Amino acid sequence: MSSTKPTIIYNDNFDLWPLISPILQNYLPLRNLHWKYNNRSLKSIHYLDVDIKPYNHINSGEKPHQLLSLLDMPYLNMFLVKCDDIDTYRSYIRAMIRKWHNSVLMKKNQEWLIIHVTFQSDSLSITRNTTPSKFLTIKTSVYDKIKADFNVPKKDRCVQLRLGDTDEIDVWQDLIIKMKEGILTSFNTRIAQYEEDIKKMDSQKTLPGWNYCTFFILKEGLAQSFEHMSLIEDALIQYDELESLFYQTLRDNQLTWFGNAGGTHLNDDSESILDISKKSYRLFILQNTISFFDFRIYLFARQCHLLQKLREYEEILQRGRNFITTMAATLRKYEETLVPWFIESWVWNSVHNLISITKDISNNKNISALRGELLFLARLQLDKIGIAFGHIPKDLLFSHKLTNVPENDKKIRLEESEHITNIKLIQMIDSKEEFLEEYHVLNRHILKEFQYGNKSNAEKRILGDIAAFQQLNAAEILKNIPELYSKNGWGKIECSIMQTYASCTLESGDIEKYVKSCLSLLKSEKYLTQDKTSFYIKQIEKYGKALNNDILYPLESYFSVQLSTFINQFEDRDTYSLELILDSKISMDISIDNISLKMHKETDSQEIYFIKKNHVVKHGKNIIHLLSNITSLGNHIIETIKIRIGKIYLLKNFLHSGKKLRIALFPRIGSLNVNITLPTDILHNEQKISIEIDPGKNEVVSGHLDLKFINQNLKIDTSNAEAYFLNKEKKKNPFKLKEITKNSVFLFDAINPSEILVLIIPYFSDNEVSEIKAKISVTYTTKTTESYIFLSNFILPTILPLSINVQNYFKKNCIFSQFIVSSNAISLRITNTNLEDSKDFSIFSSEISNKTLILTSQSTSFIFKIVKKEKISNYQHLIFNVIYHTLEEEVFYIISDMLFHELQLSNFHKYYLYIIHIFKKFQLSKINYDDYGLKQTIFSNDHINYWEEELALIETNDRMKIIKILQKIMLELENISIDKKLSNCPQRKIRIPIKIPFIHVLHSVDFIIKSNTNTNNDIYSIPKITVGEPLHAEIRIQQILECELEKNLLENSEFFYEIYIDNNIWLFSGHKKARFFIKNNCLQIFPITLIPLKSGHLMLPTVNITTAATSICFEVDYNYSIKNILVLPSESSITFHLGSIDHSEPLYSM
Count H helices, E strands: the chain? 28, 51
More confident position, 257 or 1109: 1109
Q: What is the DSSP string of 205-273?
A: TTSTT--HHHHHHHHHHHHHHHHHTT-HHHHHHHHHHHHHHHHHHHHTT--TTS------STTTTTS-T
Position 381 confidence tier, pLDDT thresholds 50, 70, 90 = very high
- Would you state the pLDDT for residue 141? 87
Supply φ then ψ for residue 127, to 5 degrees. -135, 155
pLDDT at 138: 45
Work out the average pLDDT over 953-962.
Answer: 90
Q: Structure pTM?
A: 0.55
Return all residues near 56 (Cβ < 8 A) that are at least 6 apart.
none
Residue 1143 has pLDDT above 70, yes or no: no
Residue 1137 is predicted with a pLDDT of: 62
Task: Say whether 628 sits in a helix, a strand or coil.
Answer: strand
Rounded to whole angstroms, the Cα distance separating 1046 from 1052 reads 10
pLDDT (tens digit per residue) in 289-303: 888 889 999 999 999
pLDDT higher than 90, residue 246:
no
Phi, psi of 30 (to 5 degrees): -65, 145
Tens digit of each residue's pLDDT (9 = 90 or more) over 82-104: 998 999 999 999 999 999 999 98
CB distance 717 to 760 below 8 Å: no
Residue 932 scores a pLDDT above 90: no
Three-state DSSP at 839 gives: coil
Higher-scoring residue by pLDDT: 973, 519: 519
Look at residue 402 in the predicted model and tell me its pLDDT.
Answer: 45
The overall average pLDDT reported for the chain is 83
- Rounded to 5 degrees, what are φ and ψ at 253? 55, 40
User: CA 472, CA 492: separation in Å to the nearest integer?
Assistant: 26
440 pLDDT exceeds 90? no
Asked whether the beta carbons of 1037 and 1084 are under 8 A apart, the reply is yes
1 versus 229: the higher-pLDDT residue is: 229
What pLDDT was estimated at residue 731?
A: 85
d(CA 144, CA 86): 10
- Predicted pLDDT at 850: 61
Asked if residue 135 has pLDDT above 60, the reply is: no
Close Cβ partners of 1096 (under 8 Å, ≥ 6 residues apart) = 1126, 1127
701 pLDDT band (50/70/90 cuts)?
very high
Predicted local confidence at residue 140, as pLDDT? 67
**Structural domains present in the chain:** 7-202 (no CATH), 340-469 (no CATH), 485-549 (no CATH), 554-665 (2.60.40), 673-797 (2.60.40.2430), 800-997 (2.60.40.1230), 1001-1128 (2.60.40.10)
Q: What is the pLDDT of residues 1014-1072, one digit of tens each?
A: 555 554 456 678 998 999 999 998 888 777 666 667 667 788 999 999 999 999 999 99
Helix 342-357 vs helix 365-388: crossing angle, to nearest 10? 160
pLDDT at 19 over 50: yes
Instruction: Please tell me the distance from the alpha carbon of residue 356 to that of residue 360, in angstroms, as a whole number.
Output: 8
Residue 254 confidence (pLDDT): 59
Q: Which 3 state secondary structure label does DSSP give 106?
A: coil
Residue 1013 confidence (pLDDT) above 60? no
How many Å is the Cα radius of gyration of the chain? Answer: 51
Closest to 484 measured CA to CA, from 463, 505, 506: 463
pLDDT the model gives residue 326:
92
- How wide is the angle at C-alpha 514 spanned by C-alphas 510 and 520, nearest 5°? 150
| 157-194 pLDDT tens trace | 899 998 877 777 888 999 999 999 999 999 999 889 89
| Contact partners, residue 969, CB within 8 Å, separation at least 6 | 895, 898, 899, 902, 939
CA distance 893 to 906: 20
- Residue 621 is predicted with a pLDDT of 94
In whole angstroms, what is the distance from residue 885 CA to residue 883 CA? 7
Q: Distance between CA atoms of 607 and 610, rounded to whole angstroms? A: 10
What's the burial of 587, exposed, middle or buried (CB within 10 Å: 0-12/13-18/19+)?
middle
Bridge partners of 693, per DSSP, are: 674, 757
C-alpha to C-alpha distance for 272 and 353, rounded to whole angstroms: 6
- Are the beta carbons of 688 and 762 closer than 8 angstroms? yes
In three-state secondary structure terms, 757 is strand
Residue 297 to residue 303: CA distance in whole angstroms: 10
CB of 222 closer than 8 Å to CB of 238: yes
Residue 1097 has pLDDT above 50, yes or no: yes
| 660/621: higher pLDDT | 621
